[in-house]
Structure 1
């Protein structure tokens, strides 16, 4: 039955899902797509019926994705990318002159990327542009050097000097959080932090191994370990108190909550 229902799901519905996943607010998504809020709600309801899962749970003023939603997000992103590629092939088959641009990126940066590139291109040229995205991988840098890709966007700069790159996401700092008797407090610096496992909140926008801390660990030849994925701050606090794990928090309200636990310490880094 679920497979039959899935056939009725449009690509527009998948786009709404992906935007809600990233923006965590249905009203903001409706305004962005110039849709009514009920239409966004109906799209989410259709997907909930297919997968028999709430997909998003309202927590205060934001939506929190369920585990099913976390699993669906990269799949739906890939489906959107395939749709773009099919569109290009169909239009090319009709003889329409179109520039084809292929960009490698991570799922968290993929939403609205094709539309943004097209809009930027229209500002300088009236020529039609077809934009396709492909997942970032270990061989992406070499593909750039081989001219197999036009661009790549990720969370870290290229380490090959032949590739011109710069950081587009700046680290604004955060709070290092761990139990008060944790050995990290002897020298709370980044080189020591990557030696301890990480607690990750399920609402964080990227997997632990693709976080800024995880990217730094990889750059210096280490593998950042994930201790637990916590559904809420209470569970995160429990993991911190009973392990050598640490967590990086950038939201002051979350830091204040964790400080209330007697045996947890926080410091700005």
Structure 2
């Protein structure tokens, strides 16, 4: 099975398949240094809103009972790059890519797999406060519903994987099933990944085990230590501010002129 398609700019080299809130931002920065290529992380959606429809369609298809993509047929795996916007990326980490962990392990047989696991209770507290609770906050979802141009598409992708991957439609359902899903997910990745392709990396181990596994020289810079909670909180504040600007801009450019034109037309024919 080919590791690339005609539309792929670089080969897929690394699949970092740890769950969100397991140091994915630090791993992303480390892989960018080692590979000198872009790495797909959830943050990419903020700069590439045009990717959102493809992610949403793929997630919906995978987890729908009518058209389940997991496990993908061989022909579908060969066209994974056409389904997901990954052709310009040499590695992936975090959501929404890890929803397709099983498919990517099969679709990119030459890619190395990195797995970072965290104490489950520590992970749950972080995941719940930084991801789960904000995703179900009514005010945030009202802004997403109004902002059809930026936050709306991004939020739909995240709600799609929450509903499909976690099987949760409420915060309570997500919380009740999170730990079980976490355990099942790590068991699945270990089951489908050949041992020679898998590195179980412990954050804090530095460059050496990662570089040895990937066959890369050790960089002469410190291993990245990204404070993910601070970054996520900052990103979330920035996202809401950008969403408000998006609403104001698009209302002024599209909605208000259309409303004025409609009102003028109504007034003209009413005379």
TM-score by length of 1: 0.25
Task: Considering Cα pairs closer than 8 Å and 6+ residues apart, tell me whether 1 or 2 has the greater RCO.
Answer: 2
Larger strand share, 1 or 2: 1
TM-score by length of 2: 0.25
